[in-house]
Structure 1
Amino acid sequence: MTIRDVAEASGFSKTTTAYILNDAPNLRVTEKTRLRVLEVARRLGYRRNALAAALSSGRINTFGVFLPDKMASSSGSRMYLFHKDMLTAVVGAASRAGVRIMPMLVDSDQKVSQQEITDQRIEGVLVTYSASDETAVVLRESGLPCVYLSSGPEPYVIQADNFGGICSAVDHLVSLGHRRIVHFANEGGSSANQQRIAGFCEAMRRHGVGEPMVVISKAAVNSMLQLPVAQRPTAFTTYSDQWGVHVIDIARENGLRVPEDISVVGFDDGPLSVMARPQLTTVHNPLDAIADAGLTLLLSLCDKATDPVVPSPLPTHLVLRNSTAPPLVAHCPVL
């Protein structure tokens, strides 16, 4: 999609269209014309070339990407695989959109200062983790456009269908014959975590297989796997692939086999799900689509669009691998 295509579709000259799309200084067109061109460009999926735009307008076309600082440490290398996968997705989205990104490691336990934000030469921010309420306030007060990826406060948050994704995991396990199913959640209050818990509870009630049970610690998982076989869960859905691997590890420590004794479903479909042994059945989290939609929304906010479009939760789907199987006793009594 080129400037010429936008010009032809909008009915304005290529020169006028280029000036508007590149946000040229001292632009002398009516607001109606400017909005018409931007509307057509968005409808056609036009993405400006950042380098060309920077040369013509003097704009920076660089966007900050907030990442938790612990992901850079060796101790956090496994825990923060999701954020590394998200950064990879954002890098790809930026390349496709022709803009630049600046990764910014932020202490997720403390609020970022407004000075830290304004000192950077950036036009907007993508946040890839559940920032503290204080940081969200600072971002809002900075005046920079901000979009949250995967989890965050509304209205500008791009998310997967977390609710439906976990529902599909429960549906799969119930279809295999499982009745004693537990959800291993994150202990945080992120919107993604809460939506996955809600989806699990709704699916369990819909299937009528007992009161939903949710745990938030590895110690609780360990305790449940040490119950007598007639009381022990036969399957777990989990907050993430990482949490799924935790269940596999804990099961192994208790002399249990996956999937023969315990079935496990993760969430994300990242590289860890394939590296796990056995490979993890998981819910695909569309990180590339989230990054593309997030950057598109951020660009529209930077363009001061009058009605920026926040897409509905993006579709997920179940990826079947080797960590789920029918329970040894097909129709166990519920917990």
Structure 2
Amino acid sequence: MKLSYSEAAFKISICLGIASSFIVRSNTVEITTGEKLLEDLLVKRVNYSIVNSPRVHFVGHVYILGSLLVSSTNNLEASVRINSDEFTNYGTVAFNTIQSDFPSTYYVNTHDSFINTGSMFFGISGATSGTIPFRVTSVKSWNNTGMMIFWTASGESAQVLLAQDVGHNDSSIIKNSGSICLYNTMWQATTSIAENGCITIGTGSAVILNLALNSHCFSISKMQTFYLEGPDSVLTISGLNSSCTFPMIKVAGFGNENVIEFDIWHHDVSSYEYLTTRGELIVKVVKESKVVFHIGTGYLEQSFRLRLSTTGCKISYSPHAPNIPPYECSCQSVFPEVSGATCF
């Protein structure tokens, strides 16, 4: 069998003795109430499940061909920390404490690259106020071509951090040509977003797009779709008082009273118009600037409404969105279940 570059690099690092490896070759379920530390994890095309460990820590390389599941059946915490050189997932990764009575946190931090071409599920029962329970960051590169689900079962929306962690003097950029799905989750995006994927803003969720922060301007690919899936979905545009050039933002599902929000006051929005043939909603803001949203055709201009919000002002559309969301906005809400031979 021909090895991929990442798998070959993993095997070379093991042969050089960089770390003691942990290779899973058969379906395995570990049930333990102790903490776990794993170095250089390689999961072959099998299922590997860790159940009821309060904290699981991965270091070195993490390479998933099959499935990696971390969950709790005792209603307690089951947090995950991945501090690795590289994280590569071609299969399925699920961190699930949706039924737990205690909050968990899931951190994926890589020094080199984060690559997901498979499916990743992050689910918690609730979050402690003021914390960020979901973090997926990488120093050198961040690339998602698969599906990533972030789910908070109850309480206030939990925060998620998705970014290229490059420090204070450079701009972060993440590449998303897959789907990122948020449910009862809030993402304050301080990063450029490249490629042609979809970010689904599900029920109880919000995305705050910071187009500028301090001296940095962030770019948003005009092919990236922000899908307002529910009637309470919110897309907030921030940084409009800057001198940055604002990108065209592609939005699907705008309607049924979900909102596009701005962090400027009502009097700073001079006007808006809808171009029926081009499917563009143009909002003119301060300093004669404008933000263009590609929302699709079929909207009725008299059904748009601009009004005050808690952060500034917002625009909504009363009827349902006239268009169906694109295929790349598909999200799976059913988390994988534990399967395989049991080891105690």
User: Higher helix fraction: Structure 1 or Structure 2?
Assistant: 1
Could you state the TM-score of these two structures normalised by the residue count of structure 1?
A: 0.26
User: Higher strand fraction: Structure 1 or Structure 2?
Assistant: 2
Structure with the greater alpha carbon radius of gyration:
1
